Amino acid sequence: MNRFKKTVNNKKGFTLTEIIVVLIIMAVLAAALIPSFLGFVNRANNERLLSEARVGMVAAQVVITEGGLTAAGAPAVTAEALNTQAATAGSRFNQLVAGDAPGTFSAFAITGNRVTGLTYTRDGNTVTIPIP
């Protein structure tokens, strides 16, 4: 009988108050960290979009160069021609960006034989790159 009294009086574990305090602390920490995490995700998505748009810039420049359009006396490529390339499935431009930039390229800007800008859209997000 004496042994039973020792077991009942021996209190081990956490009280309800201690558990609630720990849960409140965890909730405060989560509330502080979640917006920070979402900011990292948004910045990562923006960087991905810019990176994919740069792939399009390089691909457009390759199309211009491969077409011999940078040779002396050759006609300058038009933005409309690049827009047509981007919109045509299987074109050289789309072969170059396949897999690396699954979005849509449009609104190319060209100065002479150099690509100076474009607009890239993916998953409803749009980025415009002007190159001086």
**Taking a C-beta distance cutoff of 8 angstroms, is the pair 73, 93 a contact?**
no
Q: CB within 8 A of 70, min separation 6: which ones? A: 64, 113
Q: Dmax of the chain from CA atoms?
A: 109
Q: Give me the sign of the Cα torsion angle 5, 10, 12, 15.
A: positive
Which of 2-16, 24-38, 92-106, 113-127 has the lowest average pLDDT? Answer: 2-16
The model's pLDDT over 87-123, given as tens digits with 9 standing for 90+, comes to 887 888 888 888 778 888 888 887 777 788 888 888 8
Among residues 63, 72, 44, 73, the alpha carbon closest in space to that of 110 is found at 63
Q: What count of residues does the chain have?
A: 132
> CA–CA separation, 116 vs 21, rounded Å?
58
